[in-house]
Amino acid sequence: MGRLFGTDGVRGVANSELTPELAFNLGKAGAYVLSKDVERPVVLIGKDTRISGDMLEDAISAGILAMGGNVIKIGVLPTPAVAYLVRYYHADAGIVISASHNPFEYNGIKFFNGEGFKLDDDIEDEIEDIILRNIDVNSHITGDRLGRCLEAEENALTLYAEFLKQTIDINLAGMKIAIDCANGASYKVAEKVFRELGAQVIAMGNEPNGININDQCGSTHPEKLQAAVRANKAHIGLAFDGDADRLIGVDENGQVIDGDRTIYICMKMLKESGQLTGNLVTATVMSNLGFHKAVESLGCKVEVTQVGDRYVLESMLKTGCVIGGEQSGHIIFLNHTTTGDGILSALQLLKAVKLSGRTPSELASEVTIYPQVLVNASIKNENKKKYMNHPQIKEEIERLEKVMEGEGRVLIRPSGTEPLVRVMLEGKDTGSITKLAEDLAALITKNLG
């Protein structure tokens, strides 16, 4: 068995790769590691709407209880709700059972610490080492040393909704909003929040049945939401993924507002209100060149990280940056929370629209999105990181960068799981950059495949 923890927890096909036995062991090992500092750790558990959620929730709970930890089950709520509520309940850790935007047959388990941040790598490594080496950490405790499932004193969904509402200081009266909850974790709380703030809400993707999560809906499939915005003449559309930690917007004309544009719109609002610390925004290497140019036109700077919201957050904590995220719609507002939160991001976007007095399409148009072309180059695993040391490949990359003269760029990323590298070119003309990307990918495969 290889490494369990990826960049966003442990994932796999439920009951095949991510089994109840593995979930039980994750609960047991996690409680053991946590109990080094706390004699009886309290762990908060939330989940999305997948049919496998109940099975994995019970299995991981049993592992925690067997180690003397206590469990608070908060039911179906977004991933960021767990990050917030773990602090509210003064729990020692939080667990989310979700595979985010993946199909329903997949599931995942990710941990948060008591401050609402994802676990440090060294703690994940310790939990993983216990499982992979099959170390028996269970002292087979009995009697009153066993853990219990505790009842939350207050309704978790209501607490999270109230938190979200206080992140903006305006109401949404007069706005007609279409939302797509992906038949996932936000299917109750999102509509509740927007309605209570005064908006007229057209809701879809809010009838989960355990197997329809992310199925042709939500942030990865906004087509139905786009049609609903146009048909209902809504002011804006908001699409979340299965665990509601990301947001993709739709303007009043039915056009997609991706993460880059949402970050820019909200960053500009923060700058105008004097809240953009250091005139800095954080984004990944995949952020569009047009995003960079728009940010720089405001006299601000983009701090660039590798792909993954974990790396965005790490950079933000180091620099003091208050907003950062990814094209995919993972956006972190560090003044409000510790992780990406789709509903919170939606509220900030709505606030920016309200304060500006302009339409979403007008705000989004300030960022000119350059076409991006992605081509895979098949190479041997051992050669994944050798492309920049190969004279012919290095020379071709440098040539392409000169040809585009600041109006495009070349980005090459080795795949973490497959024997290939991804060649991405960005520029003004799709046809020309497609040909350049294909030729570069062929050159890489020829020399390193």
Length of the chain: 449
Inter-CA distances, 424 with 73, 288, 374, 431, Å: 43, 11, 4, 14
Catalytic-residue membership of 100 = yes
Q: Could you write out the three-class secondary structure of 205-249?
A: CCCCCCCCCCCCCCCCCCHHHHHHHHHHCCCEEEEECCCCCEEEE
Angle formed at CA 276 by CA 272 and CA 278, multiple of 5 degrees: 125
- State how far the Cα of 217 lies from the Cα of 423, in Å rounded to an integer: 28
Q: What are phi and psi of 14, to 5 degrees?
A: -65, 135
Which two structure tokens, joined as six digits, stand for 212? 């329809």
Q: Quick one: tokens of 140?
A: 């087979």
Using CA atoms, how far apart are residues 200 and 370, in angstroms rounded to an integer?
A: 34
The pairing of beta strand 42-47 with beta strand 10-13:
unpaired
Catalytic option among 52, 61, 100, 328: 100
Contact 384, 449 (CB under 8 A): no
Query: What CA–CA distance (Å, rounded) separates 420 from 442?
Result: 12
Q: CB neighbours of 75 closer than 8 A, spacing ≥ 6?
A: 46, 47, 156, 157
Contact predicate 79/42, CB 8 Å: no
Residue type, 37: D
Secondary structure (3-state) at 179: strand
Phi/psi for 374 (5° steps) reads -120, 125
Classify residue 189 as exposed, middle or buried by CB count within 10 Å of its CB (0-12, 13-18, 19+). Answer: buried
DSSP string, 369-434: PPPEEEEEEE--GGGTT-GGGSHHHHHHHHHHHHHHTTS-EEEEEE-SSSSEEEEEEE-S-HHHHH
What is the residue whose two structure tokens read 């020829």? 446
Interatomic CA distance for residues 205 and 207, integer angstroms: 6
Indicate which residues carry an active-site annotation.
100
